[in-house]
Amino acid sequence: MKALLSIKEIFASLVNTFVFDGTPKVKPEQIVFLTMQGKIHRNGMFRYFDRDTLALVVDEERRPWFLIGFENQTGIDPDMDIRNLTYDATTWHWMMMKIRQTRKKIRCAKKSGREIHLEPDDLSYRIPCVTIVLHYGKKEWKPRTLAQSMPQNDCENLKRLSADRIVESVLDSLIQSEKTEPTKGGVVMAGAFEQYMNTVLEEKMEKEKKAWLLEKQRWDKEKRNRDEEIGEAVSTFVILAQRLMLEEGLSAQEACDRLLLKGKLREKIMKFLFH
């Protein structure tokens, strides 16, 4: 299959099928095959590996467009997702190295006054990197995702937290502000978070103020109710005390003793009896 994928017409057709949903966006002449060797450290030793097929796709003006690699699998490899991460990491490292080399090449040409001639794989900027696994086996490939490859691990807390909108709100406000009022020097996250937290603090203080006002209204109402109850009690005891003073000839002190009145309630009633 490696030999088959090394044919540009077939490689371009696969790219159009899997990347562009069958639309013929890439032509065979836009394929530039690359040889890239990576290495991993396993069991105390470095082991080297090669991509099955890797190519740089250039646009119609021969400028770097994206990198794409195909990996052939006849059997199911449960570690394929991790292998793909290793392949992509190697490709990104190669890209960083090529960008440094290209920039140095341009600087040297300008310094010496020579004409700048760049090859298709001379990268001046980052481009996307894609890895696609072609499975030729008869059984369905499982697991299909990285999360499914960890069945014993509870990943729910690592998934998108829909209830926590702090960072999303900050990013949304940053994007909106940059669209309407672009700032010099780019976006400053610290300032955005500070502004967001000030807004949150103001909203929290406003909520607490409203809650305090509602609580105060409830206290005032309860106080009025208590005052009314005390007023009714005072009126009742004053009438009873006056009746005892008239019918039995008791003094105000004796009438209050008879009614077992004490403390502040007794003082309030005595004021009315002396008048």
Q: pLDDT: is 200 or 246 the higher one?
A: 246
- Rounded to the nearest integer, the mean pLDDT of the chain is 81
pLDDT digits (tens, 9 = 90+) for 170-180: 666 666 665 66
In whole angstroms, give the CA distance from residue 129 to residue 125: 13
Q: Nearest CA to 91 among 105, 71, 77?
A: 71
Q: Which of 1-5, 109-113, 268-272 has the highest mean pLDDT?
A: 109-113
In whole angstroms, give the CA distance from residue 69 to residue 18: 12
Helix or strand run (H / E) with residue 16? helix 8-19
Mean pLDDT of 196-225: 79
How far lies 5's CA from each of 12, 13, 19, 94, in Å?
A: 9, 10, 16, 22
Per-residue pLDDT, 167: 60
User: Do residues 50 and 35 make contact, with C-beta atoms less than 8 angstroms apart?
Assistant: yes
In whole angstroms, give the CA distance from residue 29 to residue 232: 101
How far lies 166's CA from each of 30, 37, 173, in Å?
A: 44, 42, 11
Per-residue pLDDT, 18: 92
Measured in whole angstroms, the distance separating CA 192 from the mean position of its chain's CA atoms is 15
Q: Helix %, strand %, coil % for the chain, to 5?
A: 55, 15, 30
Predicted model pTM: 0.55
In whole angstroms, give the CA distance from residue 39 to residue 47: 5
User: Do residues 42 and 51 make contact, with C-beta atoms less than 8 angstroms apart?
Assistant: no
Per-residue pLDDT, 157: 61
In whole angstroms, give the CA distance from residue 152 to residue 102: 46
- Tokens coding 271: 């004021």
Local structure of 261: helix, strand or coil: coil
Least confident among 34-43, 74-83, 139-148, 158-167: 158-167
